[in-house]
Amino acid sequence: MAEKNYYDILGVKKDASDADIKKNTASLFVSIIPMSVIIQTLIIKLQK
């Protein structure tokens, strides 16, 4: 079984900041799950 490179999946470099990783993770999440736009909006509102 091939080893997964999560940095490549997220589209970031290995030395990426936490903020870049979070941003790309959220973008990937939204692109995979359309309903996630609503979920992501709720998460952001709950974090404030």
pTM above 0.75, yes or no: no
List of E strands, 1-48: none
In the predicted model, is pLDDT for residue 1 greater than 90?
A: no
Residue partners of 41: CB distance under 8 A and separation at least 6: none
Question: What integer is the mean pLDDT of 10-38?
Answer: 83
Question: What integer is the mean pLDDT of 20-48?
Answer: 80
DSSP code of 33?
A: -
Report which of residues 7 and 31 the model is more confident about. Answer: 7
